[in-house]
Amino acid sequence: MPEIKLEHVTKRWNKFYAVDDLDLVIEDNAFVTLLGPSGCGKTTTLRMIAGLETPTSGRITIGDKVVFDSALGINVPANKRRVGFLFQNYALWPNMTVYQNIAFGLSNIREPRRLTKQEIDETVHRVARVVKINAFMDRYPAELSGGQQQRVAIARTLAPEPAVLFMDEPLSNLDAKLRLEMRYELQRLHVETGSTFVYVTHDQMEAMTLATQICLINNGVLQQYDAPLTVYHRPNNLFVADFVGNPSINFIEAKGAQRADGAVELTLLGDKKAVFTPAGPLDLPAWFARRDGEAAAAEQEHSKKAAEKGFVEKGNKDETFVYHIDRVTDEEEAPAQTAELTNEDLVIGLRPEFIEIAEGGALDGEIYGAMPTGMESTIKVRVGDYLLTGVVFGSTLFKIGEKVKMNISGGNILLFDRKSGRRIAAGTLEF
């Protein structure tokens, strides 16, 4: 089973960079989800690896074989890349039975040799068992439910034993329950087949639950490539923090500076004071110096590239993510002048589950709304003019207007730099 490697892969249409300088290693046997908002470049990335789209520049390697290299003029056609596809519109052949649909691809195999009738029969039955459709072999697609059709499509894709299986939103037209069921099937399939799965979705929940690695893209640019829980608890920047997690993370604007003992003293939520203690050693001035150094280096690199022949300026510019602050009075305030931002301008990222309602808690709030589901309640708590979203486990009933006291629990509170949007540290927050 091969490893897939992308180096500086770029795809642009005129000034529009659909994929911008993507570096990515998809390890053998991984289950990678490509995640990001609509139009961020997921399908384009998949199509380039598969050989259905020609990159503008860069290099793609599958196993020990270079399948694309713009500099060397290598471009291996799609049918020689040994990859399987499963696209959202997985049209089955309506005039063929389930058996024939699955067998069709196998009877077309010519390399290294044609398969015998018996080999085809064995394979069809084996994959049909894997996706649990062996009871329907003689039915036609019209005689199957949507989920069964989907499973036939998966079986058909699996049958030729592709070393790499690409799936582009394969579950998007199933109902919520079937979707969940199919997720389990896919997870099992991944283990049973030992293939490498690359799976496109814009559903963060699907990406979180299925993947061994999440590749989160925005505007053609890789934002983070990590295990799901790392992406959740240690997002690289504000965009990533906001994109994963449901209900969304709370962003709290804060001003502050580091004390001699390493903790950061903050003023936030109006005039409240809090102390952020980073989990590891942090030298905040050095962090900012490094940020500025990297920005300068990137700028230099950019002007160097801009001077090269054939360079095209990116039309869809990259911008720092604009986060939302939830307030009681949702009056539009004049947008903050980014030029005025200093190194004292920070943002705290607080996941809902870290808001702890506790008697004697240090932070005062008032219940603004509560949605109990039985297992847990999602609540909105008003602190001054601000609204914080919390998740409380158990069947507690909250009354609107009820006064509560809160603590912020755990060591996964995030500190971001407002100017660059990047995560500075994780740690604890005490009011």
Name the site residues for Mg ion (rule: CB under 5 A).
Answer: 43
* Residue 44 binds to ligand ATP (criterion: CB under 6 A): yes
Selection from Mg ion, ligand ATP, none that 237 binds (CB < 5 to 8 A by kind) is none
Name the minimum Å distance from CB 202 to ligand ATP.
Answer: 5
Which of these ranges, 41-49, 233-241, 407-415, 418-426, lies near ligand ATP under the rule CB under 6 A?
A: 41-49
Site track 321-350 with ligand ATP (rule: CB under 6 A), x = hit: ------------------------------
Distance, in Å, from the CA atom of 126 to the CA atom of 128, rounded to the nearest integer, reads 5
- The answer to whether the beta carbons of residues 356 and 408 sit under 8 Å apart is yes
Q: Please report, for residues 250, 313, 408, the alpha-carbon distance to residue 247 in angstroms, rounded to integers and kept in the order given.
A: 9, 37, 17
Beta carbon nearer to ligand ATP, 87 or 140: 87
Name the minimum Å distance from CB 18 to Mg ion.
Answer: 11
- The answer to whether the beta carbons of residues 398 and 370 sit under 8 Å apart is yes
* Residue 39 binds to ligand ATP (criterion: CB under 6 A): yes
* Residue 202 binds to ligand ATP (criterion: CB under 6 A): yes
What residues numbered 2-21 form the site for ligand ATP, per CB under 6 A? Answer: 13, 16, 18
Distance, in Å, from the CA atom of 226 to the CA atom of 297, rounded to the nearest integer, reads 25
What residues numbered 164-183 form the site for ligand ATP, per CB under 6 A? Answer: none
Beta carbon nearer to ligand ATP, 53 or 356: 53
Name the minimum Å distance from CB 23 to ligand ATP.
Answer: 17
| Residue 164: φ, ψ to 5° | -130, 130
Interacting residue with ligand ATP among 40, 167, 182, 215 (CB under 6 A): 40
Residue 76 CA to its chain's centroid (Å):
29
Selection from ligand ATP, Mg ion, none that 236 binds (CB < 5 to 8 A by kind) is none
- SS percent in the chain: helix, strand, coil, step 5: 30, 35, 40
Name the minimum Å distance from CB 213 to ligand ATP.
Answer: 18
Interacting residue with ligand ATP among 10, 33, 43, 61 (CB under 6 A): 43
* Residue 211 binds to ligand ATP (criterion: CB under 6 A): no
Distance, in Å, from the CA atom of 199 to the CA atom of 190, rounded to the nearest integer, reads 11
Amino acid letter for position 124: V
Rg (CA), the chain: 25
Name the minimum Å distance from CB 272 to Mg ion.
Answer: 43
* Residue 127 binds to ligand ATP (criterion: CB under 6 A): no
* N-terminal to C-terminal alpha carbon distance within the chain: 52
| Closest-CA residue to 267 (of 276, 277, 278, 256) | 256
Distance, in Å, from the CA atom of 123 to the CA atom of 109, rounded to the nearest integer, reads 13
Is the preceding peptide bond at 235 cis, omega within 30 degrees of 0? no
* Residue 148 binds to ligand ATP (criterion: CB under 6 A): no
Which residues are near ligand ATP by CB under 6 A? 13, 16, 18, 36, 38-44, 202
